[in-house]
């Protein structure tokens, strides 16, 4: 009889511990603070100046799902993310499948915070068309830089991210997001 009670007691303790860990992990998940970056000062720093300035910045900022154009910068929490341009790969070694092409997206992340931030092209970037299809990252030998790694406070990371997409796609969007928070920044690339 004591063995059954002891097993039940241990099982309940494990369940409580698991729930506690799950609560802590999920507490870290939230919504990203996303806004169009101002060329002179970031919207986030002006929002920290006063509550009135924060409301003014919030009302002037675009919605998180607003589509940006090439060259636009977006505040994504402590990162300022800029998509400078898109070019087609001219790789002679890595060829796309028949009917596809490889596009290279030139992206920069600048850390405006005071802590190091990790950036992952695999976890944080994707390409989608107007039909809702998403396209995978690919590897090419003519890619400039690498958009993966740690970005120290006050530093930048710039690189190209390659996607294999259909040649006949009517519209394409580059999407930057954080896998642990909701919200995304979107740029129209075609």
- Residue of higher predicted confidence among 1 and 137: 137
Strands in 130-166 per DSSP E: 134-135, 137-138, 149-151, 156-166
pLDDT of residue 29: 45
Confidence at 55, pLDDT banded by 50, 70, 90: very low
Pairing between β-strand 181-182 and β-strand 30-31 as defined by DSSP bridges: parallel
d(CA 160, CA 42): 24
Distances (CA, A) of 142 to 35, 104, 112, 121: 32, 9, 30, 17
Q: Do 155 and 126 fall into the same domain?
A: yes
Q: Which range has highest mean pLDDT (19-28, 33-42, 145-154)?
A: 145-154
**Residue 6: what pLDDT?**
62
Which 8-state DSSP code applies to residue 9?
A: H
Instruction: Look at residue 93 in the predicted model and tell me its pLDDT.
Output: 85
Q: What is the extent of the structural domain holding 168?
A: 32-188
Question: Rounded to two decimals, what is the model's pTM?
Answer: 0.69
Identify whether residues 15 and 100 lie together within a single domain: no
What's the whole-number average pLDDT of the chain?
Answer: 78
DSSP state of 151: E
**26 and 44 together in one domain:** no
Query: Which pLDDT does position 54 carry in this prediction?
Result: 39
Q: Kindly state whether residues 105 and 145 are assigned to the same domain.
A: yes
Report, as an integer, the average pLDDT of 65-83. Answer: 92
């Amino acid at each position: 009889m004591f063995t059954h009670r002891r097993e039940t007691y241990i099982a309940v303790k494990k369940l409580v511990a698991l729930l506690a860990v799950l609560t802590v992990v999920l507490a870290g998940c939230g919504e990203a603070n996303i806004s169009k970056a101002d060329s002179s000062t970031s919207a986030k720093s002006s929002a920290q100046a006063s509550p009135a300035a924060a409301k003014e910045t919030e009302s002037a900022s675009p919605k998180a799902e607003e589509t940006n154009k090439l060259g636009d910068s977006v505040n994504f929490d402590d990162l300022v993310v800029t998509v400078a341009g898109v070019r087609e790969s001219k790789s002679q070694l890595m060829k796309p499948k028949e009917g596809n092409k490889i596009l290279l997206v030139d992206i920069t992340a600048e850390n405006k915070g005071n802590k190091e931030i990790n950036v992952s092209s695999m976890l944080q970037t994707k390409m989608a068309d107007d039909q809702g299809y998403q396209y995978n990252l690919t590897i090419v030998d003519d890619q400039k830089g690498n958009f993966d790694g740690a970005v120290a406070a006050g530093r930048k990371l710039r690189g190209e991210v390659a996607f294999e997409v259909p040649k006949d796609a009517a519209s394409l969007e580059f999407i930057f997001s954080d896998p642990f928070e909701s919200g995304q920044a979107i740029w129209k690339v075609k």
